[in-house]
Amino acid sequence: MVTSSRLPGFYKLSPSERLNTVLQATGLEIGQLGAVLPADDQMLAIADRMIENVIGALSVPLAVAANFKINGKDYLIPMATEEPSVVAAASNMASVARIHGGFHASSDQPIMISQIQVVGAPDPHGARLRLYERRRDILDLANEQDPFLVKLGGGAKDIKVRIIEAPGASHVVLHLIVDVRDAMGANAVNTMAEALAPLVSEIAGGRVRLRILSNKADLRLARVRAIYDRDALGGEDVVNGIIDAYDFAVADPYRAATHNKGIMNGITAVVLATGNDTRAVEAGAHCHAAASGRYTSLSHYEKDTNGNLVGTLELPMAVGLVGGATKTHPVAQASVRMLGVESAQELAQIITAVGLAQNTGALRALAAEGIQKGHMSLHARNVAIAAGADGDEIEHVAARLKQAGNVRLDIAQKVLEEVRAGAG
């Protein structure tokens, strides 16, 4: 029970003062909350500069997916995730894809859209055309906000004006189309949109409300394809099973949500490892999955003339190398260094390739032995820890759970009791 959550000026305290405040308010001992403190004080200082009200840091495992060849180049891929079997599945499918040359990826230019909403324009259709007539003035003013981006070859490139029919009102919405080069671009385009507001309001004759990027980054798609060898996948029946699973996801949103979650297992892990914005990428992906008006599979599967599986994936990929946590988190910087990427587009292609490998890995397991065998056997260590196993007990209990083919908490607790009683 918290005494009071009203903590005026909490944000002005240091992390250790905040932790003390939390201890007092919750009545907990340091032994009960001390796990929030990172081993390294420097990490706490970095975390405190990254977000507000910091008391500690959560460390998520960082792994390396092996075997990836993308556009003829080998990569070691950093993946940050708490979920067992994800990295194993991605590495497994990357090695199958290598047989026929690995992943082939491409991407659009790094174009983001910023939206400026105008309400109350008396003549929305007239306002729309007036905005197009002043296109050059709008783009020039936008580009004055970020001369460095323009020097890099980026900047505001075009506008699009839409009329959105909302309940009881027509809103004029200007899309500012910006090449953000190696940035994810949110801050860059938001700055431009805010600077444009007075001019847009004057031209449209209405009041500007929102000025913010759209996470439906559909001008910034990344694409990947791979041929998975039929025999290495497990034969014709497994290939057919994957295609049946794909058909299911195309037709049924209940299945599509899980299918796409499997894709995001890989994508989010690389996005997080490189310090990019996981929510932005996820919002873009799921919006794209519903772009036809019906939520469906993000990936596609078919067979080539030799019976091999051809997998493809295309989705928005708004990731950068220069902004956000990519530049402030040392692990994100290490991840980017490990990848050896030279542009945000290259990073987008890599992430999309991992998404495809991840999806195929899950579908292969589902079509063949089922998900529990591989996933649960790798999850067994977590279950052993949840049951209270410590040190050497963890591997011992996990091995017994796998042997029993039943990775359950109650069984883990029973096995642990036996181990501790000397019977294990």
The least distance separating ligand HMG from the CB of residue 176, rounded to whole angstroms, comes to 37
Binders of ligand HMG in range 20-79 (CB under 6 A): 66-67
The least distance separating ligand NDP from the CB of residue 153, rounded to whole angstroms, comes to 9
Q: Which stretch binds ligand NDP (CB under 6 A): 163-171, 192-200, 322-330, 386-394?
A: 322-330
The catalytic residue among 48, 83, 123, 252 is: 83
Kindly state the DSSP code that residue 6 receives in the 8-state scheme.
-
The catalytic residue among 261, 300, 396, 414 is: 261
Q: Are 259 and 286 in contact (CB under 8 A)?
A: no
Q: Is 85 in the site for ligand HMG (CB under 6 A)?
A: yes
| Known active-site residue 231 | no
Q: Which residues pair with 159 in a beta bridge?
A: 176
Q: What is the 3-state secondary structure (H, E, C) of 83-138?
A: CCCHHHHHHHHHHHHHCCCCEEEEECCCEEEEEEEEECCCCHHHHHHHHHHCHHHH
Among 128, 171, 181, 381, binds ligand NDP (CB under 6 A): 181
**DSSP E strand stretches across 154-203:** 155-166, 169-179
Residue 335: which of ligand NDP, ligand HMG, none does it interact with, CB under 5 to 8 A by kind?
none
The least distance separating ligand HMG from the CB of residue 257, rounded to whole angstroms, comes to 9
Rounded CA Rg of the chain: 25
Binders of ligand NDP in range 283-302 (CB under 6 A): none
| Known active-site residue 151 | no
Q: Is 182 in the site for ligand NDP (CB under 6 A)?
A: yes
Q: Is 362 in the site for ligand HMG (CB under 6 A)?
A: yes
Q: Is 309 in the site for ligand HMG (CB under 6 A)?
A: no
In whole angstroms, give the CA distance from residue 407 to residue 418: 16
Q: Is 320 in the site for ligand NDP (CB under 6 A)?
A: yes
Among 43, 48, 60, 83, binds ligand HMG (CB under 6 A): 83
Q: How far is CA 200 from CA 32, 138, 158, 258, in A?
A: 54, 8, 14, 42
In whole angstroms, give the CA distance from residue 199 to residue 118: 11
- Of 36, 72, 74, which is closest to residue 54 (Cα–Cα)? 36
| Known active-site residue 288 | no
Kindly list the residues in this chain that would bind ligand HMG in the complex (CB under 6 A): 66-67, 83, 85-89, 91-92, 95, 258-259, 261-262, 265, 361-363, 365-366, 371, 374-375, 378
